[in-house]
Amino acid sequence: MNDFLRVGLQNFLYNAGILGFIAVLDKGKCSHYYEIKGSDLYIGKALFLDDNIDLAVMYYEALRERFQDGTVYQRIVNMNDQLKNSSIDDDSLEKLMQELKTYLQNKRYKSGFEIAKQKGVQYNPLEGLKAINEMENDDEKIKMAIEITDYILKFPEIFCFKDIAEIKVSKIWNNISFLLPHYKIKDMIDTHRNVFIKPLKNWISKSYKAKDYCIECGISLPTSLSKGLSWLNDMGVDHKRKYSYFWNFKPDSYLCPLCAFIYSCTPLGFSYSDYNDECVFINNSESIEALQRDNISAKSDIDHEAEKENIGRLTYRLINRIINEQLRQKQKYELSNIQVIIKRRDGHYDINLLSRTHLKVIKECGKELERLTKAYLTISNKKKSKRNSNKNSKKDSSKDRLYVFQECIRNLINGYYQYGIINMALRKGFSDGENVGYVRQLLKVQLVSKKYIKGGSAMVSDGMLFAVSQDGIRLRKKFENKDKSDTKKDSADNKLRGFAYQLLNALQVGDCNGFLNIVSRIYIGMGEPIPNLFMKMLNNEEAFKSLGYAYVLGLKGTAEEYSADKQKNSYSDENSKEVK
């Protein structure tokens, strides 16, 4: 195997890079130069020694094929077609001219004009824009607009590549190659060839005295050809500026030329949304083929949910699809560990690491989790200034929402209880009148995770939660029946709010005796018998909290959303008995 270089699956960014690297080779019809064996990729050295193979061009063409549809360049393509083939009224023409002006005055396009001049084309589209503004005849305006857009369409390797670099590639890596400000007016394909491809070819074809080792593949390499990790967003530090991160102040996180090029292919391994700034990668380290299989449909999933701005449901769709695919592959009893990585709008990675146990919980709670994807808590942003309060309300509302599904999955992954989000939700329900019926789903997830993750069997069943919530509903109705006004629901909320807050405080601090004392006083004061299920809370914190929160949910009234089949549960009839 001396004629081959071997790389294997590592972290999620590198794994995405391997998928991207394969996509580059497939685009250049060079699939015969590599072989996949499990979690390893074997690459023939002849690929890098053949002067007829231009990896830089293949890289650009793979990016363009994958991402052109979402670029400004593609909008100009569509605009050019509309100008040539459609009848345009005055309003539509004015709108097109404004769009064209916006596109061409973008900084990346202005730098693209300079690159085109270096290729010998001296045409200045900005002068054409200026001429359009001075024209009165619509036909002349259309003719000039066609001339400008034809110019843009001649250079996809400049303008389309510029769009892809800024919109897609810069999410993953930056400040190197064509994304280094120093090279902004240099040919992008040539720049990538000089930064990544030439060192790789030299490394393969010549002998060097090795001093360092690649942090990914472990191969020895000369310092002159090594690269650091600082150009990978949220990954590495700059060796030239920061030594204190390394043992004895000696940096050792170097990349060989091959692994550096693979990392540059990482954007091709992610699935991007055409509707917002999210991108997704499914990391399954079982094998490269499994990695390809799990990511092949991620694009359709992210577009389907990102269009509706429902990232919680997106995560669930991705996880659920992977589970179903594994079951289809007859791995029912050996679900593999996976990572669902989402690159958020703020530039950071949201990494959901799901073990086999987590996947079992998710599979059993499928219906509950699907309902949680639509739920959120409205969180007031006290730091928001009055000046910004009237701006884009859709954007502001997304900042002020706590998505319940994401919190639930985060708690599940980190081994936390769901009671924190449950307590917050019920408080919001009583204070702001929000619908918090989804607390029932959170309680179910908590029960199932207790069974699989915490160890042992749960002291509380779903039927018991239903029964104690009915006790809460019955007490609420007694308050409602005392008020004959049309607003008796709001009145009951007002009367029960102080009582509910006391119970929630006791639940938050784990004070079972305090909880039972508060409940006993209210029932005795109303001359009502105390429900028998409260005795189940004693001597078990898990039973106390789950039953206690289910009871408060009943007090809110939203527990009536329990499905009708729960009413047939024999336990609910037996345990709703009351003690004098």
**In this structure, are 41 and 181 located in the same domain?**
yes
- Residue 367 within any structural domain of the chain: no
Mean pLDDT (the chain, rounded): 82
Is residue 393 very low, low, confident or very high in pLDDT (cuts 50, 70, 90)? Answer: very low
**In this structure, are 458 and 540 located in the same domain?**
yes
Mind listing the pLDDT tens digit for each residue in 467-499?
A: 999 999 999 888 777 655 545 555 666 778 889
Q: In which domain, by residue range, is 82 found?
A: 69-166
Q: Name the token pair of 316.
A: 């669930």
Whether the pLDDT of residue 315 is over 70: the answer is: no
- Residue 386 within any structural domain of the chain: no
pLDDT at position 573, please?
38
Question: Which amino acid does the sequence have at 524?
Answer: I
The better pLDDT of the pair 139, 264 is held by 264
**In this structure, are 425 and 476 located in the same domain?**
yes
Cβ neighbours of residue 312 closer than 8 Å, sequence gap 6 or more: 372, 373, 374, 376, 403, 404, 405, 406
**In this structure, are 291 and 321 located in the same domain?**
yes
Rounded to two decimals, what is the model's pTM?
Answer: 0.74
Contact 368, 412 (CB under 8 A): no
DSSP strand pairing (338-343 vs 349-354): antiparallel
**In this structure, are 73 and 189 located in the same domain?**
no
**In this structure, are 197 and 339 located in the same domain?**
no
Exposure string of 60-74, with b = 16+ CB inside 10 Å and e = fewer, is bbbbbebbbebbbbe
pLDDT at position 243, please?
47
Indicate the residue among 119, 147, 166 that finishes a domain. Answer: 166
Mind listing the pLDDT tens digit for each residue in 420-459?
A: 999 999 999 988 888 899 999 999 999 998 888 766 566 7
Mind listing the pLDDT tens digit for each residue in 174-188?
A: 999 999 999 999 999
**In this structure, are 291 and 311 located in the same domain?**
yes
pLDDT at position 13, please?
93
pLDDT at position 395, please?
42
**In this structure, are 223 and 108 located in the same domain?**
no
Cα separation, 579 vs 266, in Å, equals: 65
Question: Which residues, listed in sequence order, are joined to residue 214 by a DSSP beta bridge?
Answer: 254
- Residue 361 within any structural domain of the chain: no
Taking residue 56's Cβ as centre, other Cβ atoms within 10 Å add up to 22
Indicate the residue among 108, 139, 166 that finishes a domain. Answer: 166
- Residue 59 within any structural domain of the chain: no
Mind listing the pLDDT tens digit for each residue in 182-218?
A: 999 999 999 999 999 999 999 998 877 777 888 888 8
- Residue 461 within any structural domain of the chain: yes
Number of structural domains the chain divides into: 4
Mind listing the pLDDT tens digit for each residue in 106-129?
A: 999 999 999 999 999 989 999 999
Whether the pLDDT of residue 144 is over 60: the answer is: yes
Indicate the residue among 214, 248, 268 that finishes a domain. Answer: 268
- H/E element holding 37? strand 34-37
- Residue 58 within any structural domain of the chain: no
CA–centroid distance for 367 within its chain: 21
Radius of gyration of the chain (CA): 31
**In this structure, are 47 and 113 located in the same domain?**
no
Please report, for the chain, how many H helices and E strands are present, in that order: 26, 13
Q: Which of 11-25, 194-208, 300-314 has the lowest mean pLDDT?
A: 300-314
pLDDT at position 305, please?
54
**In this structure, are 468 and 479 located in the same domain?**
yes
Taking residues 12-41, what's their average pLDDT? 95
**In this structure, are 409 and 492 located in the same domain?**
yes
Whether the pLDDT of residue 327 is over 70: the answer is: no
- Residue 302 within any structural domain of the chain: yes
- Residue 9 within any structural domain of the chain: yes
Taking residues 502-528, what's their average pLDDT? 93
**In this structure, are 415 and 505 located in the same domain?**
yes
